[in-house]
Structure formats: structure tokens, C-alpha cells
């Protein structure tokens, strides 16, 4: 097997050789302006080494990938009580589906679809102000990455606030079912801002280390919880594309509509990939291809 840096460099060339990049998210105007023809990948191994290829230091909007961090915080805060408000089953629906939430009386299927992440955010927000909640989320992400140079892009948050009609519909429906402790505006304001955190693939791969489960990094959450977060990433991390991703890649992972994907090789590595063009599920097109190639080349799979 060629060494990892060579594999990544080859992968970067392969991804750029083909001109089908997918479409950037159009419903958030700030994201619609991003050039889709970009690619970056980073791997942090359990030895603490980081290998990268492509635009590895370009910051991008991590969007739904923050749902992993907010879930870790919410479970740390509320424990199993959280599951009274949100389920743990794959949704088989688009990430912003409204119909399922109504059919299931306002209890979102899982914490990674939008409705579930709004509930998780609301749980962390309860009894506190958005500013303090966002500071805690940022602090968690920065500590995980070992990097204080990670910030929220306020233009992206404002852009989504102005155009996030579906999320407002979801939040108001949750409130009508009694599954929101804060006002929809407050819960969503916090949600949009944590989604607007920006990182490079290098920073994201570093931030993913807390999910590897290895004694070599400082422990941020309980080992049992690491396994459970990984289980949810595998089954729900790519929405209605989760089965396909598990079949093709075989690793727990979480995607974001900014074109990023964070995948975990338990006990071994954390992988971050970014390419802003999306497939029909709203997951990075080239990011998914690259994850599949890397997993195959390295023999990485949880199966």
C-alpha cells in the first residue's frame, strides 16, 4: 500500500480530473456564491499526524457537521432525558422534511435532521442566553481541534436567518407540539449561528479526534458516548443518503450542506473532506467519492 500522503495527493488529482462537481446549496444565498470546483481532504491519525491535500487551509461553512458537536454537548448536559424529545432512527427523508414531523407529532426522528438539531440546540439553550450557548459550542469545537482560530461567519448566519423559511416552519411546528422550550426565533437564531461555524478540513479533521476513541488524545466525552455518537453518524449522518454512504464507505460520518464531511475510523483516524458541490441528498458529491476511494485504498471500514 502506498503511504497515506501519496494516496491523498493521488485522490486530489483524481477528483480534479473529472468535471462533474454537483450543485452548491442554493437556499442559503451566501453558500450559493461559493465556487463548486474546489476540493480538500485531511486525515488526522491516532499518532497525532495530520496529512492533507488540496485547499486544506480554506475555511468553509461546516453547517450540519456542527450537529455532532451540539449533540455531544446536549447529551453531556441532559443525558438520556434528551431522547424524550428526539428519536434515534434514520429518517429516510430529506434533511429538512416537514411532513414526517407532523406525522410523528413533533418528535423528530433523529438529532441530525434539521428538526432534531433544532430540538438539541433548544435543549442546550434552556436556561441560558444564545450568546453563552454559542460560546460553549465554539469553545467545545476549539478545544476538540486544539485551535482557537475557529469562528462563526455572521454573514452566513444572517443569510440563513433571512431565507430559512423551512426551518422556521419546522421550529414553529415543534413549538405547537410543545417540543420547544425557547421561542422559535431564539432556538433558530442559535441554530443558524452554530451551523455558520467555519473550519478548514485540517481544523475539522483535528476537531473530529474526540470521536476516534483512543487513549492518545485528551478525553472530551465518555467512551460509551463516543460509540453511540458514531452509531448515529453511521445510521443518520447522511439523511436519506445514509444507507448509500454506509454501503459505499463503511464509516460513521456526518455531512453538511456547505460540502464538508467528517468521517471517523474508530481507533485509527478522523477524516475531513470538502467539496461544495452536492449530490441529490444534499451531501458533497466529490466528498462522498473521495471518502469511498480513501476507505478502499486504506482498507478502512467498521465492517
Binding mask 194-233 toward ligand GLN (x if CB under 6 A, else -) reads -x--------------------------------------
Give the residue with the Cβ less far from ligand GLN, 217 or 281: 281
Site string for ligand GLN, 39-78 (x = CB under 6 A): ------------------------xx--------------
- Examine the residue annotation and report whether 216 is marked as an active-site residue of this protein: no
Decide: is 235 part of the binding site for ligand GLN (CB under 6 A): no
Q: At CA 174, angle to CA 245 and CA 136, rounded to 5?
A: 70
Q: Which of 91, 191, 281, 293 is catalytic?
A: 191
Min separation Cβ 78 and ligand GLN, Å: 22
Which C-beta is closer to ligand GLN: that of 157 or that of 212?
Answer: 157
CB of 195 or CB of 272, closer to ligand GLN: 195
Contacts of 180 (CB under 8 A, 6+ apart): 118, 119, 122, 171, 174, 187
Among 51, 69, 95, 281, binds ligand GLN (CB under 6 A): 95
| Shortest distance in whole angstroms from residue 241 CB to ligand GLN | 11
Check if 257 is active-site.
yes
Q: Which three cell numbers stand for residue 58?
A: 480554506
Number of residues that bind ligand GLN (CB under 6 A): 11
Instruction: Point out the catalytic residue in the list 67, 186, 254, 286.
Output: 67
Binders of ligand GLN among residues 125 to 184 (CB under 6 A) are 160, 167
Residue 241 in contact with ligand GLN, rule: CB under 6 A: no
282, 287, 291, 300: which one binds ligand GLN (CB under 6 A)? 282
The vertex-206 CA angle with 23 and 234, nearest 5°, equals 60
239 is a catalytic site residue: yes
* 268 labelled catalytic: no
Considering the complex, state which of residue 14 and residue 244 has its C-beta at the smaller distance from ligand GLN.
244
Query: Are the C-beta atoms of residues 252 and 302 closer than 8 Å to each other?
Result: yes
Q: How far is the CB of 188 from ligand GLN (least distance, A)?
A: 9
The answer to whether 95 and 114 have CB atoms below 8 angstroms apart is: yes
Sole binder of ligand GLN in the list 36, 111, 237, 256 (CB under 6 A)? 256
Q: At what angle do helices 165-176 and 184-195 cross, to 10 degrees?
A: 140
114 binds ligand GLN (CB under 6 A): yes
Nearest to 138 by CA among 207, 189, 211, 55: 207
The residues that bridge with 254 in the sheet, in sequence order, are 262
For position 252 contacting ligand GLN by CB under 6 A, the verdict is: no
Are the C-beta atoms of residues 232 and 88 closer than 8 Å to each other?
Answer: yes
| Nearest approach, Cβ of residue 156 and ligand GLN (Å) | 9
Q: Is 247 marked active-site?
A: no
Contact residues toward ligand GLN (CB under 6 A) are: 63-64, 95-96, 114, 160, 167, 195, 256-257, 282
Q: Please identify every residue annotated as catalytic.
A: 64, 67, 191, 239, 257
Amino acid at each position: 500500500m502506498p503511504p497515506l500522503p501519496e494516496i491523498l495527493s493521488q485522490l486530489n488529482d483524481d477528483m480534479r480530473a473529472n468535471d462533474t462537481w454537483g450543485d452548491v446549496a442554493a437556499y442559503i444565498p451566501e453558500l450559493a456564491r461559493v465556487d463548486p470546483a474546489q476540493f480538500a481532504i485531511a486525515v488526522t491519525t491516532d499518532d497525532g499526524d495530520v496529512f492533507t491535500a488540496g485547499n486544506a487551509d480554506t475555511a468553509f461553512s461546516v453547517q450540519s457537521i456542527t450537529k455532532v458537536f451540539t449533540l455531544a454537548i446536549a447529551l453531556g448536559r441532559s443525558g438520556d432525558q434528551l431522547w424524550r424529545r428526539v428519536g434515534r432512527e434514520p429518517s429516510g427523508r430529506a434533511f429538512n422534511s416537514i411532513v414526517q414531523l407532523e406525522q410523528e407529532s413533533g418528535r423528530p426522528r433523529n438529532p441530525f435532521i434539521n428538526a432534531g438539531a433544532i430540538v438539541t440546540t433548544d435543549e442546550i439553550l434552556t436556561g441560558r442566553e444564545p450568546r453563552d450557548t454559542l460560546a460553549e459550542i465554539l469553545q467545545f469545537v476549539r478545544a476538540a481541534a486544539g485551535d482557537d482560530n475557529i469562528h462563526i461567519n455572521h454573514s452566513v448566519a444572517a443569510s440563513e436567518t433571512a431565507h430559512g423559511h423551512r426551518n422556521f416552519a419546522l421550529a414553529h411546528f415543534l413549538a405547537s407540539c410543545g417540543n420547544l422550550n425557547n421561542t422559535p426565533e431564539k432556538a433558530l437564531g442559535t441554530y443558524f449561528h452554530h451551523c455558520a461555524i467555519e473550519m478548514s478540513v485540517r481544523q475539522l479533521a483535528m476537531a473530529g479526534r474526540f470521536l476516534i476513541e483512543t487513549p492518545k488524545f485528551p478525553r472530551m466525552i465518555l467512551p460509551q458516548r463516543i460509540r453511540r455518537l458514531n452509531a448515529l453518524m453511521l445510521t443518520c449522518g447522511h439523511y436519506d443518503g445514509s444507507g448509500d454512504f454506509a454501503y459505499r464507505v463503511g464509516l460513521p460520518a456526518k455531512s453538511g450542506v456547505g460540502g464538508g464531511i467528517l468521517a471517523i475510523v474508530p481507533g485509527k483516524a478522523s477524516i475531513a473532506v470538502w467539496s461544495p458541490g452536492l449530490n441529490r441528498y444534499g451531501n458533497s458529491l466529490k466528498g462522498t467519492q473521495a471518502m469511498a476511494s480513501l476507505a478502499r485504498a486504506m482498507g478502512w471500514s467498521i465492517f
